[in-house]
Amino acid sequence: MTKEGKLSPLWREEDWWAVWFGFIIILLAVIGIVHRVPKLHKWTSNPIEMFVTVKEGIVTGNLLIPLILLWLRLGILTVIGIRAMGQKVRDYLPGYTVVFILTILSYAFANQIQVKAYGLSYAFWALLIGLLISNTVGTPKWLLAGAKTEMYIKTGLVLLGAEILFNKILRLGGPGLFVAWLVTPTVIIFMFIFGTRVLKIASKPLVIIIAAATSVCGVSAAIAAAAAAKAKKEELTLGVGMTLIFTVLMMIFMPIGIRWLGMDKIIGAAWMGGTIDSTGAVVAAGSMLGSEAEKVAAVVKMIQNILIGVVAFLIAVYWVTKVEREPGAARPNAMEIWYRMPKFIVGFVAASLLFSFVLVPLLGTAFVEQDILKGVTKNCRGWLFCLAFVSIGLESNFRDLSSQLAGGKPIWLYITGQSFNLVLTLIAAYLAFGGILFNRPV
């Protein structure tokens, strides 16, 4: 193979372009070319409130221009990759533009005050809007050309790595690690065995998506697992859909149950942090028990989120060496595993290491978290994920989803796995935060 041939995957494959996209966005944020990525405001009765900032009756800010700039910047960035991968830019741009508009609409529904209180996130609305289009009028080919699900998802996952700062692990130390890292792999293994051997679900990718979503952190983990296991889009849609529904229910009822039982609030917070499948929902649920409980719940979830990259890597290795390996075939060597492993995992880990051990010491925690993470990468990751969920909906149909739900086995897998997760995490939280194995951290 020529030198050029060896290098070609770096600029020919979507996996690698997701890494480049992520690090270009990070670089632009670090050097100050991009200072802020717009985030729509909450609104009550007038949707216009999403786009403007009003102080003392005077409009002081308008998000329309920043949104156009975001559409333009993401468009230019992704067009470079589209062109390098040999795809047609003229086919991509119209579809991308409409998907972006649908993404704004998804955020619009999610940011309505009452809707937000119910925990119906942008992911829910993005999936719903896409599914409604694909299952009614049908998704036209020109629109599908802009629905680059994998590209948006993997770029978002690289940016998610930037949010995994190792200094946050140290805030709760042993107790947080005990709850987050002991229970999570146990639940994944239990659910995978239960789903494939007891329920005998034919699709192993679907089982691992539901297991990862239940045990790690919902939507983000489901996306990472789906990419590592090369799952079908309808399998990811089903896994994410179930997770979103149960996340809302747990966010509402777990704090109520903890108060009703008279449970120690710190133990209850750690329990919620290890079981509710969304960081935002964890923070909301924790706040219902007080400020200290909110911090404990959030940090336990953050520590658990670190496992996304590890879980995705192990899933990729298992799929290459076991699931996809032909009977009697030689065991794949290390390079074969490297070639077939999703490269977003490399970008995810690299971003985490860069922020934790280079940017934070160099620029300071406050600047990195406020100006780079909250100002740019976190918001940009949200937009990319929302673009991805709209795209998933546009590419899916209820006929495919109904076939995945045959016999209700995926639902039974989720309910059984989450029940096991709740019991195991409660025991771990009691041992870790009840002053038994460790001194109480707060």
The per-residue pLDDT for 6 is 47
| 264 secondary structure, DSSP code | -
CA distance 125 to 108: 9
The secondary element (H helix, E strand) that includes residue 427 is helix 409-433
* pTM assigned to the model: 0.79
Helix, strand, coil proportions of the chain in percent (round to 5)?
Answer: 80, 0, 20
149 burial level (CB within 10 Å; 0-12, 13-18, 19+): buried
pLDDT of residue 4: 43
Give the torsion sign (CA, 247, 252, 254, 257).
Answer: negative
Asked if residue 173 lies in contact with residue 441, where contact means CB atoms within 8 angstroms, the answer is yes
What pLDDT was estimated at residue 336?
A: 67
C-alpha span between 225 and 220 (Å, rounded): 9
Q: What is the C-alpha to C-alpha distance for residues 348 and 163, in angstroms, rounded to an integer? A: 10
Would you give the distance in Å from CA 327 to the centre of its chain? 34
Question: Which candidate, 242, 293, 288, 252, places its Cα nearest to that of 271?
Answer: 293
User: What's the rounded Cα separation, in Å, for the pair 285 and 281?
Assistant: 6
Q: Helix or strand or coil: residue 201?
A: coil
Please work out, in degrees rounded to the nearest 5, the angle formed at the alpha carbon of residue 328 by the alpha carbons of 325 and 330.
65
Dist CA 121 CA 245 (whole Å): 10
Distance, CA of 89 to chain centre: 27
Walk along the chain (442 residues) and give the pLDDT tens digit of each residue.
Answer: 444 444 466 777 788 899 999 999 999 999 989 888 998 988 888 888 888 776 655 555 688 899 999 999 999 999 999 988 888 889 999 999 999 999 999 999 999 988 887 777 888 899 889 989 988 988 899 999 999 988 998 898 889 888 877 776 666 567 878 887 889 999 999 999 999 999 999 889 999 999 999 988 777 788 888 888 888 878 888 888 888 888 878 888 899 999 999 999 999 999 998 999 777 778 778 888 887 888 888 878 878 877 887 888 888 888 888 887 666 666 666 676 677 677 877 888 899 889 989 998 898 888 888 888 888 999 999 999 899 889 988 987 777 666 666 678 999 999 999 999 999 999 999 999 888 888 776 5
